[in-house]
Structure 1
């Protein structure tokens, strides 16, 4: 399994940070952060104090202020579900709007809360089209709106115009609204860009909730995420549960007490400076990847400041490269932990394919490819 790591280029999981100093507690103690993280509840086998520190660190990064509220989830999909559920609880007539490039979990969240989902076309850079969003919002006059914006789409790492979406809702006088930002991949690295290059997508830009993933850029090495609100949401389902001694404000009941430790070790341990360096190294590698592909004549694209490079999907290759995507387009996501030497090997294989130096027999259905072709 470890030997195949160099071939996994299509999925956004950072692997450069490890936490050997936490091995004992992660593998040797039960830690259950059940219930609201801002309420200790019964017992001491939790890490809620650390969880709150993580929430506040991220809240400051995204402009939430002192009243920030949130919790560590099992993944960004759970965070988006929490935001969609909060919107549907506050406004039972809510309509959910998301771009055609939004994560597949948005449709699932809308289905679970029984809210209609409206897809919005994207522009040439894969961003939600504000003109098309205006048209879609006008199709549902008088209804509450839940717009899900994306900061780092799964295919091209596009960044929706969060401030523009908020301004559009203001222009249309949509007061009953929510604006959730799915910043699972690109939220932290984009927020750490210098002034002038940093897109406005946090709470100052009009977001009402935001989610980032832990196993993507922060390199927690196990799935988790953090959902953030500028203040604690209110709702009729947040009653205090005597069994746990805490309010029921999360989607799940029992939650990992280990993932807040990993997040804290990454976020607080590296700080803004360390993560800014990590992000820049990934951008430099993405630029190298794009240039190398173009140099051999292989079609490729990269959006500004993105870790992601999309490329024409190759046919069979001599090594088991994982490029994801569909039959036409693959992707390389230059996450921290990806090495330039791996990219160079892939480019060499693609160059050989272009020039006819590499021939990989296509296995017939029901037959395995020869072992020599997969090495």
Structure 2
């Protein structure tokens, strides 16, 4: 197979683009400090993980043995015995969320799905695809679900089998819905534990909370029924992927026997990427628990550094507990575009994933945001009567981080 010179040049141009922008993602939770070069040789194979990794499949080029190791790791991480759980390596957080909602719907076909307005946009698609009754719940100022509004709407709906979609780290604010509080409030409302389903979307924080000293509740030991994590976020991967874990007894409801592969399939997608389980396996096997703790500690300290720098310069920045998401007022479109910031309404955020080792990009962003804010403040104090024609505005090129 030979490409034309023009096509080769196009590929080379894209290669240079990737090299130049490899660490651009200050606004999105994508860890870029990974190395899967030892897996390059496997790209010559069509590896397909179709079906259940715990069963034989007559499609021999699968990475089931590696996927089983990955699921054993996450079962232990999320406090559930492997034999009581089942999950798989997904295409990403959206598939994991759909899997959890699917299980909840199968358990309670007429139940209503409740999720906060800070929930990831994928849920709006999921409820349409699964045709689940749903209710959006107000959020607290920090991004957590409004527990009073949740209970008020459950009561108004007279819903006896609510399906709760809890955020373990919201998209914009990194807020964690307190699943202990949710369960206490449900119990007070007379809804027994076996009468509701609780899914946890831990796309980013699922690889943060297990490694901090004082985590918010997040695991099966805390009462969840399913949880999903993104593999390309805190872990890091060149291919979007994720992990979903659920209680095996609930997964059995959706299992179907497939003669074509001589196995059972419990997944959303059927044929699945067999390379991403290899990547997750290499990442988990090459980092000890102490390594993960150190990576998380560094990211949290970097996030607090950014908050401190912003606040010392008069910018109202903040972050939630155990979050690497730093929230601050939305800057100009120029700055947001330059640093690829995620914005929503009047706020923006930066995310201190592990590859931000030297803080240089964070410092550069903060310098520009502060300079812009000071320039705007200076301009707002001037009036046409006092401004002199041709007077130069103060420069915005000063370097604030040298003072810290």
1:266 equivalenced with 2:283 (yes/no):
yes
Q: Distance in 2 between matches of 1:220 and 1:258?
A: 11
Q: Distance in 2 between matches of 1:52 and 1:220?
A: 19
> How many corresponding residue pairs?
356
5+ residue gaps, structure 2, are 1-16, 376-393, 398-404
Contact 2:215/2:322 (<8 A) preserved: no
1:344 equivalenced with 2:382 (yes/no):
no
The residue matched to 1:128 in structure 2 has which SS?
coil
Q: Distance in 1 between matches of 2:85 and 2:53?
A: 12
Q: Distance in 2 between matches of 1:176 and 1:265?
A: 39
Alignment of 1:217-228 (within 5 A): 217-228=234-245
Larger CA deviation: 290-299 vs 79-88? 290-299
Report the CA distance between 1:54 and its aligned residue: 0.7
Q: Distance in 1 between matches of 2:317 and 2:277?
A: 37
The residue matched to 1:233 in structure 2 has which SS?
helix
1:141 equivalenced with 2:141 (yes/no):
no
Q: Distance in 2 between matches of 1:293 and 1:330?
A: 13
Partner of 1:373: none
Q: Distance in 2 between matches of 1:268 and 1:131?
A: 43
Contact 1:90/1:235 (<8 A) preserved: no
Which residue of 42, 51, 57 maps to 2:67? 51
Report the CA distance between 1:81 and its aligned residue: 0.6
Report the CA distance between 1:231 and its aligned residue: 2.2
1:335 equivalenced with 2:373 (yes/no):
no
1:155 equivalenced with 2:155 (yes/no):
no
Contact 2:198/2:225 (<8 A) preserved: yes
Report the CA distance between 1:302 and its aligned residue: 1.4
Structure that is richer in helix per residue: 2
1:357 equivalenced with 2:373 (yes/no):
no
The CA deviation string for residues 76-109 of structure 1, in whole angstroms up to 9 with x for no partner, is: 1111111111121222101000111111112221
Bigger Rg over Cα: 2
The residue matched to 2:21 in structure 1 has which SS?
helix
Q: Assess, with a 3 A threshold, how the Cα gap between structure 1 residues 13 and 314 changes in structure 2: closer, same or farther.
A: same
TM norm structure 2: 0.84
The CA deviation string for residues 306-353 of structure 1, in whole angstroms up to 9 with x for no partner, is: 111111111154781211113521110011112401111112222332
